């Protein structure tokens, strides 16, 4: 079992690095590089507490977006390939048996996709394709 991380975003980034669709990719944090094929994980705003237990522990959510800068054009095959790549990330998030090793005092319970792949920004040559998800975790 791996060691827990100092921050949730670091743990989630490390966890995503094991996704086969992202093999060998550089995954930035809060910054998508200009290079085609670049990936980023961004934190999404949300209400973090889902439930408070009588012990004082809480069930929480950590929402994130995984995005890539991919080639974009009036080429149906290219755009289908872009969406298929993002769907692979979606599928992995939903089906992977592993969860992130969160910081001490936090234990991941599940991972979910909250928004399917879509082109969130496009110009004439590239597009930002995004998938959003969340980690449900318990915090002592």
Mind listing the pLDDT tens digit for each residue in 48-86? 999 999 999 999 999 999 999 999 988 899 999 999 999
137 Rama class: left (phi>0) / alpha (psi -120 to 50) / beta: beta
CB-based contacts of 69: which residues, under 8 Å, 6+ apart?
32, 33, 34, 35, 36, 37, 38, 126, 127, 128
Q: How many domains does the chain have?
A: 1
Q: What is the CATH number of the domain that holds 33?
A: 3.30.2000.30
Indicate whether 2 belongs to any domain.
no
Residue 3's pLDDT band, with cuts at 50, 70 and 90, is low
Distances 58 to 55, 108, 124 between C-alpha atoms, Å: 9, 12, 46
In a domain? residue 44 = yes
Q: Domain for residue 99, yes or no?
A: yes
Whether 102 shows a pLDDT value over 60: the answer reads yes
Average pLDDT, integer, range 89-103:
95
CA 93 to chain centre: 8
pTM, to two decimals: 0.90
- pLDDT one-digit tens code per residue, 6-42: 899 999 999 999 999 999 899 999 999 989 999 999 9
The domain of 24 spans 8-139
pLDDT confidence band for 4 (50 / 70 / 90): low
128, part of any domain = yes
Residue 2 has pLDDT above 60, yes or no: no
Q: What is the CA radius of gyration of the chain?
A: 16
User: Would residue 3 count as lying in a domain?
Assistant: no
* 1: in domain: no
Judge whether 90 lies within some domain.
Answer: yes
CA distance 139 to 116: 27
């Amino acid at each position: 079992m791996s060691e827990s991380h100092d921050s949730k975003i670091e743990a989630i980034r490390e966890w995503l690095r094991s996704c086969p669709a992202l093999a060998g990719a550089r995954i930035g944090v809060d910054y998508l590089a200009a290079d085609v094929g670049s990936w980023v994980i961004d934190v999404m705003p949300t209400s973090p507490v889902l439930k408070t237990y009588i012990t004082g522990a809480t069930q929480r959510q950590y929402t994130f977006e995984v995005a890539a800068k991919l080639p974009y054009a009036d080429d149906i095959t290219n755009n289908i390939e872009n969406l298929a790549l993002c769907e692979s990330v979606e599928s992995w998030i939903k089906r992977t048996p592993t969860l992130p090793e969160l910081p001490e005092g936090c234990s991941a319970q599940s991972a979910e996709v909250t928004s399917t792949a879509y082109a969130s920004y496009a110009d004439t040559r590239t597009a930002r394709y995004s998938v959003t998800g969340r980690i449900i975790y318990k915090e002592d």
